[in-house]
Each structure stands twice: as structure tokens, then as C-alpha cells.
Structure 1
């Protein structure tokens, strides 16, 4: 029987004690023996340090040093990863079930697959689902309708990062994840597989939506990413992305 691929999970963190919950969701995966846990701590000064100490025996790689932001931290983790497959899990997110990474492993057993993604739910602090981001089957033209997959559900073969580059943390401060996915999925037309399951639970609120200033900056960066990656009519995309969000509230989660 062919050996399962090693999956590297990278979690960037800075002063976020909820990383305990995030790490627990990785450690409890049914295929934990095939998972590498990498934490990149930008110099936390709160309870995060106690949490990392608690999980030190489960963390395979711990990088603790100042960084220039979350995308710089992600890039450090990617460089250090030994897995054939790379996923990124934010410190305040967690995997929806303990079979998520087993499902991902099965997808990548098909060696022609470059990238996979799935669905995501937004939850309140008590874990109640408030929004359902149902990604749907991949079609390249959907990018022109403001579509994008939820970045925390995206898994990529490491060789793709080595060939096409990591996050552009120099030019992008909020939307480097969007630019990277656009570069991988659209511009380079990689072979993509959709996992029709919820992969990640994310607490409501995000960096790009924290203030009007961040919303404006995010839209500017989305426009820049569209131009760089050769989408036609790039000025429409930021508006279409916003238009899609209300439909996440309409999805009947109970039917899944």
C-alpha cells in the first residue's frame, strides 16, 4: 500500500491564546501520524506562550521570532515545512471534524491534483454557525464573478510553492492570500479538486473587515491582484466579491 503523504499544517500566531483550540483540532485528526505541526510565533507576550509550552511535545517545528506580518510568518512556515502537502490554519480557526486531514490525504493520493479546497463556516464564540461559505465545484470563470475559495480550506502541494512562489508579503498587507490563490488557480490553471465538506470553523470577524480603512485597502489590493494576474474587467471584481457575501447567510446549514 502506498504511504500517505505528509501534510504540514502551518499556524502563524501573535498574542492569540485561542491557538490552544486550533492545535487541539490538528492533534485530534484521525491521521495525526501523517501530519507535521508548524507554529510561527511572532513574539507573543500573553497567554499564548503558556499554550505553546503546553503543546510543545506535539509541535514539530516552533519558530519564535519577530516578523513583518502574518504573510511573512506563513512564508517562514512554508520554507521550513517537510510535507508534500501544505495547509495553513490561523491561530483562532479550527478544523471542523477529526477526519478533515484524512479526507485531504485521500484527495492528494491522486498525484495529478495540485490544489484542493472545501467549505468553511463562520461561528460565534460559542461555536454556533452564523454563516456558511459554500465554495462549490471549481470553474475557472467563477473568478470573474467575485468567487474565491476560503483560504483556510486550501491545501497545496509544496512543489507548487517552490515553483510559483509563496505569499507576496511585500506588496500586499491584507489580500496576499487572494493574490496567491488567483495566481495558483487562475493564472497558472492548476489542477484543482473541491472537497464537498466543511473543512474549517472560523470565528466571525477578519483583518480585512476590522475597519473602513482595512476594507478600502483590501479592495485596492484585490484590484491590484486582478490586474497582476490578468483578469479582464478587474475593476468589477471587488464589487462582485462584496455582493456574494450575503448569500452565505441564506445557505441552509441544517441540510448539509
Structure 2
């Protein structure tokens, strides 16, 4: 199948002083097996050598810039303002995509067009790339999402339509902007879980996740989590012991889904897709 017959996928990488990891991140996009990728890098005016890394690959980029911005959300919005793809993903400058991630995501988005967002599983790595943990999320339902909505951001792909429909990221949010976006996307579409590892989140000293992957949680992060609860939770999901109980429910749900025939068939479908790509 020719490149022009496949939907264009736009990937944006926001970055600021991440020279230690940026090249590996960029190569994980540039070396994807999927042939129709538009790659954009938005640097916040780094002073650590990041710009030299970007320039090394600028002939393979659709657009890039290095200038001060108003934070990660602003940088991502800026990148997508230059996008021309039909499918979007953003990849932070310390994370990586696995080589078949884009091909797998597009395959399922084309097969099930009623889902305008798909997401895969995550590997957690350290600053040397060593595996620390894995995250295999459960399927997302609108009702259960009111208690908790956790999907691996780097493995999440969505249509340009819903991005523009909801207006992109809230630039006032620094820690939970992705979760806020997922909640707004849920008003527009259902989510499809692909039960294979599609990318890696890097846990290091500068990691800022508020879901236990980072080392510390700032006051601003706590305030933003409260913002999520205030805007997207229900009366029952605000009850502390019910939220705590949902953690145990998720463990049982995960075990149940892992034993479902449908999940096994999806994994086999991905294996067949990767095999076919490797032999095409």
C-alpha cells in the first residue's frame, strides 16, 4: 500500500532541556515502520544542546522551532497548530514509541472507525532504559472513568477531528492536562484499548507524573487533581472509600480482561500485523 493511500499521522514532541533523552525519543518516531508520519518538534528555548540534536534531523521533520513558550501544554498546542495529519499523537521528549506503534494504532482506527481514540500498554523505564515496571490499563467506560481515568499518554492516538472539536489542551494545566483532555474526548467518542506494549514512559528525577510514577507531588499538582475531581467526578466518585475500592475493582477487572478470548485474539491480530509488515 502506498504512503499516500494511508492516513497521515502527526506526532508532536514538546521539549525543554532534555538533551539526555531527546535523540532517543526522536529516533523512536523517525524509525517507525509506518510510512506516512509528519513529525514536529517544539523546543522551549533549550540551552543544553537540544537544538543541535534537532538540527541533526531537521531534514526529516515537517516543522520545528526553538523559542520560549508557556509550558508543555502550550508547546503541544503550538505543534498541532502546524499539523496536517488525520491522526494525532504527542510524545514527550523523554519517552519512546516502539517501532510498530503507529502501524498498530492506525490499523485499529481504520478497522473500528467508531473509536476516535485508541491506546496501548506501557513499559516504565529508568534514565538508562532499564525496565522498572509495566502498566496494562483496563478498558475505559464513561461510567467508571468518573472514579479514575488512567491511560498511557505516549501510546494514545486520536483523530484530528476530536482534538479540534474540544479545542486542544488546557494551557492552564501543567500536570493533568492529558487527563483533562481524555475526559473531554469521552464526550465525543469511545476509547479502544489495544492490549500490547506500544511505548515506554521514562521515570527519572525530572518526571512529573502525579499518578505515582514521579518522585514528588507538588502543591500545584494536588490543586490540578482537585480540579479534575471538581469538573469530572460525580457525587459517588468523590467519596474517598469508594475511590479506594475502585483500585481493587481495577485489579479484578484487569485479571478478568486478560483472560477474555477477545483480548487474546487482539494480541494475535497485532502479531500477524507486525509479521506482515516485516515481510512486505
Q: TM (normalized to structure 1)?
A: 0.85
Residues 100, 146 of structure 1: CA spacing in aligned structure 2 closer, same or farther, 3 A cutoff?
same
Shift in Å at residue 222 of structure 1? 2.0
- In the alignment, which residue of structure 2 is the partner of 1:104? 105
The answer to whether the Cα contact below 8 Å between 2:15 and 2:43 also exists between their aligned partners in 1 is yes
Distance 1:240 1:10, change over 3 A: farther
Pairing partner for 1:27 from 14, 27, 30: 30
Instruction: Tell me, in whole angstroms, the C-alpha distance in 1 between the residues paired with 2:79 and 2:115.
Output: 22
Cα drift, residue 55 of structure 1: 0.8
Offset of residue 4 of structure 1: 1.4
Given candidates 116, 119, 122, the residue that maps to 1:117 is 119
* More displaced 10-residue stretch of structure 1: 139-148 or 18-27: 139-148
CA 1:151–1:234 in 2, change beyond 3 Å: closer, same or farther? same
- Kindly tell me: are residues 116 and 236 of structure 1, through their superposed partners in 2, closer, same or farther at Cα, counting changes over 3 Å? farther
Structural mapping, 1:176-195, within 5 Å: 176-185=177-186, 188=187, 190-195=189-194
Kindly tell me: are residues 191 and 212 of structure 1, through their superposed partners in 2, closer, same or farther at Cα, counting changes over 3 Å? closer
Structure 1 vs Structure 2 CA RMSD: 2.9
The separation in 2 between residues aligned to 1:213 and 1:131, in whole angstroms, is 20
Aligned residues of 1:147 and 1:241 also touching (Cα < 8 A): no
The separation in 2 between residues aligned to 1:46 and 1:241, in whole angstroms, is 45
User: Are 1:229 and 2:214 matched, yes or no?
Assistant: no
Match of 1:220 in 2: 223
**Structure 1 gap ranges (5+):** none
Q: How far apart, CA to CA, are the structure 2 residues paired with 1:242 and 1:66?
A: 41
DSSP 3-state at the match of 1:143: helix
Deviation per CA, 1:98-132, whole angstroms, max 9, x where unpaired? 11110011112133221111111111233222111
| Cα distance, 1:28 vs structure 2 | 1.1
TM-score by length of 2: 0.78
- Aligned mates of 2:115, 2:79 — CA distance in 1: 22
Alignment of 1:1-256 (within 5 A): 3-17=5-19, 18-31=21-34, 33-96=35-98, 98-109=99-110, 110-170=112-172, 172-185=173-186, 188=187, 190-205=189-204, 206-208=207-209, 212=216, 214=218, 216-229=219-232, 231-236=234-239, 240=244
Structure 2: how far apart are the matches of 1:149 and 1:105?
A: 18
Deviation per CA, 1:193-239, whole angstroms, max 9, x where unpaired? Answer: 1111111111114214556551x432321221232235334535796
Would the aligned equivalents of 1:123 and 1:201 in 2 still touch at CA under 8 Å? yes
Query: Greater CA radius of gyration, 1 or 2?
Result: 2
Deviations 1:117-160 (A, max 9, x none): 11111112332221111112232233244241112221110111
Once structures 1 and 2 are overlaid, which stretch shifts more, 140-149 or 72-81?
A: 140-149
Report how many residues are paired: 244
In structure 2, the gaps of 5 or more residues are 256-266, 268-280
